[in-house]
Amino acid sequence: MTNASGKGSTSPKPSRHFAASLIGIVLIVVALPSLYLGTTMPGVMGYSLIALSIMALVAALGIGYNQLVKSKGESQIDLEASSESALDLNQTVGPVSKPLSLSADVEAMVVFDTEYLLDTMDGDRDMVTMLLEVFVDEHLDDGHKIVKALQAGDLDQVQMISHSLKGVSASLGTEQIHALAEQIEHEVKTQANSEKLENLGELLKMVFTPAALAIQAFMDESAEIKSRQSTQEDSSLGEQSEEVSHHDEVSNDAANELNASKQEATIAAQPRIVEESVATLSCDWLDVNALREAMDGDEDTVCMLLEIFIEDNAGKGQVLVAAVSEPGQQDHALNIVHALKGVAANLSAKPLRECCGVAEAKFKQNEPVSVEECRAIEQTLNQTIASAEAYLAKSAIGA
């Protein structure tokens, strides 16, 4: 008889064990009454029964001890056989794989470089927050997508996801994600073995967690800063409105004279404004090549930025014109042109950046900014948005 590992086993024999146990029981059953009778009977007969009873008990104990020793020996043999089977099984399965860990180079990289991203976006936290929100929505599960594509054997999908993720993560300062995405893309191109690619995919999933936490912390901090700034602006507007009301009550005539002189200056400046607007119309509204170069040639990031720009700024020119037309809304108008100037600088939209810069400087120096100037900014903004839409449409056809 052989066991699962092919080695001989020494199974116990039930018939011999049963016979020996039965003999031992009979000896005990006979010895105990005989011993009792021997103690009650006088003379030689009594001593003989006692002697026979003791011998029977000794024989029963000997049989029991022998059975116990055999059982231990057989158990030891079975244990050794089980150990040999387990050893054979371990040799068949192979060594246990080591837990995955990042290389020293990747481990030393930054999870999320906020300073780099803010510097790239000219300190515009709103723009940075929008980019990060898009990244979280569209790329946070890229690690899982890559692993699933690898398991399905779809290497084209793996290469496409890793290439897109490589460009986006580089522009956002998530260095560990960028390094692993770049490795995966390279290994797919060089036809690395599936096990290595799956390990890289698992590592990519792993580094997304600390990056997501750091990104969320930054967005929470930005939201808190924006909330404080909004509260301060509302308070400042209230104070300015009170000062204006008081000033009107005290010197209404002087204010009328000042407004009249401002209107005259605005009328005199209108020809210059029209000339500047016409000159602006002849410029390129959006330098996509410069934007693509700033994004390290990543076309997906360029399109993403343009889509965000269109979505967030469509109709903002009308809001600017309305704000400058209403008394006490100068700070609101200043905030609009400041934000537009920063976005235009990031997108390489030179005409929009320049006209917003001129208006911002006037606001800060408490100089008048006319409705006509704001309408020129609105027109420039609309032209820039139209250029961005045309580029996106062209890119969609090319894709």
Q: How far apart are CA 169 and CA 181, in angstroms?
A: 9
Report the pLDDT value the prediction gives residue 20, as an integer from 0 to 100: 64
Joined tokens for residue 91: 């040799």
Instruction: Kindly report which listed range (231-240, 335-344, 363-372) carries the lowest average pLDDT score.
Output: 231-240
CB atoms within 10 A of CB 286: 25
Q: Which of 199-213, 241-255, 304-318 has the lowest mean pLDDT?
A: 241-255
The DSSP letter of residue 98 is P
As beta bridge partners, residue 2 has 8
Q: What is the pLDDT averaged over residues 103-115?
A: 88
Half-sphere exposure of 161 (CA within 13 A, CB side): 23
**What percent of the chain is predicted at pLDDT more than 70?**
66
Q: Where is average pLDDT lowest: 52-66, 173-187, 350-364? A: 52-66
Q: What is the pTM (predicted TM-score) of this model?
A: 0.45
State CA 60 to chain mean position distance.
76
Q: What is the pLDDT of residues 258-267, one digit of tens each?
A: 555 555 544 4
- Mean pLDDT, all residues of the chain: 76
Whether residue 72 is predicted with pLDDT greater than 70 in this model: the reply is: no
List residues bridging with 8 in a β-sheet: 2
Q: Which stretches of the chain are assigned E, i.e. beta strand?
A: none
Taking a C-beta distance cutoff of 8 angstroms, is the pair 313, 387 a contact? Answer: no
What gap in Å lies between CA 255 and CA 267, rounded to an integer?
18
Contacts of 142 by beta carbon, 8 Å cutoff, 6+ apart: 161, 162, 165, 181, 204, 208
Contact in structure between 172 and 134 (CB atoms under 8 Å): no
Which contiguous run of DSSP H or E holds residue 273? helix 252-281
> Is the CB of residue 175 less than 8 Å from the CB of residue 111?
yes
pLDDT at 279: 37
| Burial readout 249-265 (b: 16 or more C-beta within 10 A, e: otherwise) | eeeeeeeeeeeeeeeee
Which pairs count as long-range contacts for 355-359, CB under 8 Å and 24+ apart, including other chains? 355/276, 355/280, 355/380
Q: What percent of the chain has pLDDT over 90?
A: 13
Q: For residue 125, what pLDDT is reported?
A: 85
